[in-house]
Amino acid sequence: MGDKKEKAEKKKKGHKVKTFVTEVKIFQAMKELRNLDKQVNRFIAANGVKKVISVSDTATTDNTGATIGLIRVLAYES
């Protein structure tokens, strides 16, 4: 997982979905969330997104159940 790592874009019924991933380190969560917000906002501006349909976050965990990352999914129309 890396701060700049992005997964592929998918098309479905005229809507598009973009996934963003960031690693979460203890005591740095607020900084990482701000960076993730900036990454998503840059994508929206650079790709002419006209309508954001939804934004969803989910945590990823390691084998102990500790949160180690965050996946943000953006559903949008361009």
* Structure confidence at residue 13 (pLDDT): 58
Would you say residue 43 lies in a domain? yes
| Residue 48: C-alpha distances to residues 12, 23, 43, 52 (Å) | 18, 27, 8, 11
Would you say residue 51 lies in a domain? yes
**24, burial (CB in 10 Å: exposed 0-12, middle 13-18, buried 19+):** middle
Range of the domain at 68: 10-77
Q: Return the residue matching tokens 């954001």.
A: 52
Q: Which stretches of 1-78 are DSSP H helices?
A: 29-46
* Structure confidence at residue 6 (pLDDT): 40
Question: pTM for the full model?
Answer: 0.70
CATH number, residue 17? 3.30.1660
Mean pLDDT by 10 residues, the chain (78 residues): 43 77 84 93 96 95 92 95
